Amino acid sequence: MRWRKKREDSQTRVKRQALLAQLSGPVRQFLATEVGSAGLLLAAVVVAMAWANSPWSEHYESLWATEVSLTFGGAGLSMDLAHWVSDGLMALFFFVIGMEVRYELSVGELTSRRRVAIPIVGAVGGMVVPALLYLLVAPGGEAANGWGIVIGTDTAFMLGALAVVGPRFATQLRVFLLALTVIDDIVAVTVIGAVYSGDVHLGPLVVMLGLCAVPVLLNRLDVWRSAPYVLVVVALWVATVEAGLHASIAGMLGGLLIPAHPRAREAVERAARHFRAFRQSPMADLGMSARLGLQRAVSVNERLQTVLHPWTSYVVVPVFALANAGVDLRGGVLGDALASPVTWAVIVGLVVGKPVGVGLSAVLGARFGLGSLPRGVSAEQVFGGAALSGIGFTVSLLIARLAFSDQALRDEAIVGVLLGALLATVLGWVVFRAAMVLRGQTEADLPRILDRPVDPEYDHIKGPRDAPLTLVEYADFECPFCARSTGVAAELCARFGDDLRYVFRHLPLPDVHPHAEFASRAAVAADAQGRFWEMHDLLFEHQGELEYEDVAGYAADIGLDIEKFLRDVDEESTAARVRADVASAEASGASGTPTFFIGGRRHTGAYDAETLARELQRSAGPGAQLSTAREDQPGGSTPG
The mean-pLDDT minimum among 284-298, 479-493, 515-529 falls in 284-298
Mean pLDDT of the chain: 84
Query: Alpha helices, DSSP H only, in 196-226?
Result: 202-220
Using an 8 Å Cβ cutoff, are 143 and 351 in contact?
A: no
Q: Please measure the distance between the N-terminal and C-terminal CA atoms of the chain and give it in whole angstroms.
A: 33
pLDDT band of 503, cuts 50, 70, 90: very high
Integer Cα distance of 71 and 613 in angstroms: 57
| Residue among 425, 394, 390, 385 at smallest CA distance from 40 | 394
Which pLDDT value is given to residue 622? 67
pLDDT in tens, 360-382: 999 999 999 888 888 788 899 99
SS3 content of the chain, % helix, strand, coil (to 5): 65, 5, 25
Strand 469-475 to strand 460-462: parallel, antiparallel, or no bridges (unpaired)?
Answer: unpaired
Collect all residues with Cβ–Cβ distance below 8 Å to 614 and sequence separation of at least 6.
none
pLDDT band of 407, cuts 50, 70, 90: confident
| Residue among 292, 272, 307 at smallest CA distance from 95 | 307
Predicted confidence (pLDDT) at residue 568 exceeds the cutoff of 90: yes
Q: What angle do CA 64, 68, 74 make, to 5 degrees?
A: 160
Integer Cα distance of 388 and 161 in angstroms: 7
pLDDT in tens, 61-77: 899 889 888 777 767 77
pLDDT in tens, 274-303: 777 777 777 787 778 777 777 777 888 989
- CA dihedral 233→238→241→246, nearest 10 degrees, is 20
Collect all residues with Cβ–Cβ distance below 8 Å to 68 and sequence separation of at least 6.
78, 79, 80, 81, 84
Strand 601-602 to strand 595-598: parallel, antiparallel, or no bridges (unpaired)?
Answer: antiparallel
- For 378-410, b/e burial (b = at least 16 CB within 10 A) is bbbbbbbbbbbbbbbbbbbbbbbbbbbeeeebb
Using an 8 Å Cβ cutoff, are 493 and 536 in contact?
A: no
Integer Cα distance of 178 and 435 in angstroms: 21
Predicted confidence (pLDDT) at residue 138 exceeds the cutoff of 50: yes
